Structure 1
Amino acid sequence: MTTALLLSGGMDSTCIAYWKRPSLAITINYGQKAAAGEMRASTAICEALDIQHVVVEANISALGSGDMVGRAPSVSAPATEWWPYRNQFLITTAAMKCHAAGVSELMFGSLKSDGFHADGAPPFFMAINHLLELQEGTVAVTTPAIHLDAHELVQVSRTPIEILAWSHSCHVDDIACGFCRGCRKHFETMSIAFGHSY
């Protein structure tokens, strides 16, 4: 086993799962409001693609802020769904699982448009990779879609609509609310990628 993907069950990580076919997919229940929907989506995607799937339980909801935990956003938040140090936590937690499973590459589904979050931009991933290199183990973090927008990723990965239909992008519930930033991005991406409204 050499590659793993941090799979949230959202559109971006679903496309990377289809495109890159990792040996292992890791989904983390960190206390986010949409956890049940993300677990359901991730499980279905892995079954459809025959990818080994593990769920890690690591509830940090007491430390969260914003839509994903159901609290007012932090004063530092660049967007309503921002959760302080979330990507750092998710990568660290997933890297622990990768180390135990003998995985050397952990893929993370950050896109070009995620760069407005400091922890979604290339400098962050370079820094966290360096941090992992300073420690025991050989886990490297890669971002195969960081040069793409969401609709470009759908097209480049050639993910079929029957796989994307399993994805869950809502930030606030385990059933898509249709109004949060995650749901709006989902509908907009599907419309651009497939040429009609959803």
Structure 2
Amino acid sequence: MSSRSKKVVVLLSAGLDSTVNIYEAIKHRHEVVLALTFNYGQRAAVKEIECSAKIAKHLNVPHKVIDLPWFKDFNRSSLIVESEKVPTGKDVEIDNLEKSQDTKKSVWVPNRNGIFLNIAAAFAESLNATSVIPGFNAEEAVTFPDNTKEFMDKATQSLHYSTSNHVTVGCYTIHMKKPDMVRLGQGLKIPWEMSWPCYFTGDKWCGECESCQRAKRAFASANVDVKHLFKEA
């Protein structure tokens, strides 16, 4: 992303990716005119909203929650449908591509990031912001195509036609894996206890879902001790 100062809208779920991106945006002296958190019926909605609000308040950034109850009308994702089982524990193998492709089918939410980016772009145009910043990364892009640089670039091309000020999509972590993001976050002095990388709502991060397992490995690789944030086994 350009280091030139500008107004931006950040998609904030309080996960590692989006948290690092909002901190990076501020580091680059961009004016974050709005942090958007989406409630689409996901299991972690309560904690994502709560933690995102804390992060936004901590950074003195305007925060808004967008309710999307109609996601349930076209979803069988285990992140939304309570009767579906979210892969956890030994059902998750983050270094096994074939297994990850299989578990992806369970948690996949159709066009989620596409919908989020378009809504954020509409807010961006109305607020005279020129960019939308999602939390994408190279690690999950291997199995989730809506995390890729290609997707982000195509989204920018589309928004050139659907926003009068040609809103772009940019992401600081697009080429990073999770351990690199944690190291970057350490340099930014991110209070990790405010973040929420877990697929579930609870008192602590479950440590068993795919997102938690990736976070756990990332923190360990970066030699950052956050064991107290995970639920005890």
- 1:150 is aligned, of 142, 167, 178, to 178
SS of 2:46's partner is: helix
What is the CA–CA distance in structure 1 between the aligned matches of 2:119 and 2:202, rounded to whole Å?
A: 22
1:91 aligns with 2:101: no
Q: TM-score, with normalisation over the residues of structure 1?
A: 0.88
The Cα shift of 1:38 comes to 0.2
The Cα shift of 1:72 comes to 6.2
The one-letter code sitting in structure 2 at the alignment partner of 1:57 is: D
The one-letter code sitting in structure 1 at the alignment partner of 2:139 is: S
Which position in structure 2 is the counterpart of 1:6?
A: 11
The Cα shift of 1:136 comes to 3.3
Change (3 A) 1:84 1:30: same
SS of 1:134's partner is: helix
What is the CA–CA distance in structure 1 between the aligned matches of 2:103 and 2:150, rounded to whole Å?
A: 17
What is the CA–CA distance in structure 2 between the aligned matches of 1:19 and 1:191, rounded to whole Å?
A: 22
The Cα shift of 1:24 comes to 2.1
SS of 2:64's partner is: strand
Seq. identity, %:
24
8 Å contact 2:20–2:184 — kept in the other structure?
Answer: no
Which position in structure 2 is the counterpart of 1:53?
A: 63
Higher alpha-carbon deviation: 91-100 or 186-195: 186-195
Which position in structure 2 is the counterpart of 1:64?
A: 75
Which position in structure 1 is the counterpart of 2:3?
A: none
Alignment deviations for residues 66-92 of structure 1 (CA, whole Å, 9 cap, x no partner):
33113368xx96613211111111111
What is the CA–CA distance in structure 2 between the aligned matches of 1:177 and 1:82, rounded to whole Å?
A: 19
The one-letter code sitting in structure 1 at the alignment partner of 2:54 is: A
Higher alpha-carbon deviation: 83-92 or 150-159: 150-159
- 2:161 is aligned, of 94, 111, 134, to 134
8 Å contact 2:7–2:128 — kept in the other structure?
Answer: yes
The Cα shift of 1:109 comes to 1.0
Alignment gaps of 5+ in structure 1: none
Alignment deviations for residues 38-96 of structure 1 (CA, whole Å, 9 cap, x no partner):
000100111111112111112212322333113368xx966132111111111112112
Q: How many residues align?
A: 195
The Cα shift of 1:172 comes to 3.0
8 Å contact 1:11–1:169 — kept in the other structure?
Answer: yes
- Which 4+ residue blocks in structure 1 deviate beyond 6 angstroms? none
